[in-house]
Structure 1
């Protein structure tokens, strides 16, 4: 829900005619969508429901404000690529990054229900411990989940962002 308000705020900045070079703090704004630098006008091409995360970094010395926007599609590809490199079984279970709607992800015992792409895409070699797979019956018995056919159980060091 917060991503909608953040994106709405960014759209409002575009609509108000504020220049890309400066904002009220005299910072030059630089926008990135899925790791590619874009003009502010590119933000209008995205529906808020396509956005998974927005982060901002101000560099005081250079008076630059970097705004990083990642789409759900981009983050899905990132975690799919990482997990498929870690496990051949995962690649067989999810042969394409857009084919995991029947899979329930569980991290450190926590069932991921909604807006989980950012959480999964934050897993890396520093945090990843292991991955295992559970069937429909185990999902139902252990997690009370009946609308998915497979579970992907991931263990990490420490917690991962929600």
Structure 2
């Protein structure tokens, strides 16, 4: 397995994997597969981002197959530069339990930590997703609240659990 920053030439594999994610784990995302399938390739390239832009995506590769992904979204606003959002986390079901999710999270944490202005990561997960909760906790994320009735699923309304991770900074700016 290889973890790498996704680049524009990976867009077809990224799009296919994320459309699979929206189909396989619809309760995990606030967007539907139909909504995302309608997006043009340019939207997907922008969503993937780059190592230096306002978004960065990482992929887990088994040979030439993209089997997992996670993304970071950075803020351009001066008052929120210190926090980045983790989103689009997905590992194919047959690849789970092999450490891929944690490897992807560690790549995202390392990338965010390399940006001096980023002091924390945040994310949300759908209430009741115990495997995701265990994964995020194993990477050091802590829960700090739940937004009730945040998304409508086939099983009814579900909450979104909010989590964050303070990044270790040797030269963190004074508050």
Q: TM-score range by the shorter chain?
A: under 0.3
TM-score by length of 2: 0.26
TM-score by length of 1: 0.27
Higher strand share: 2
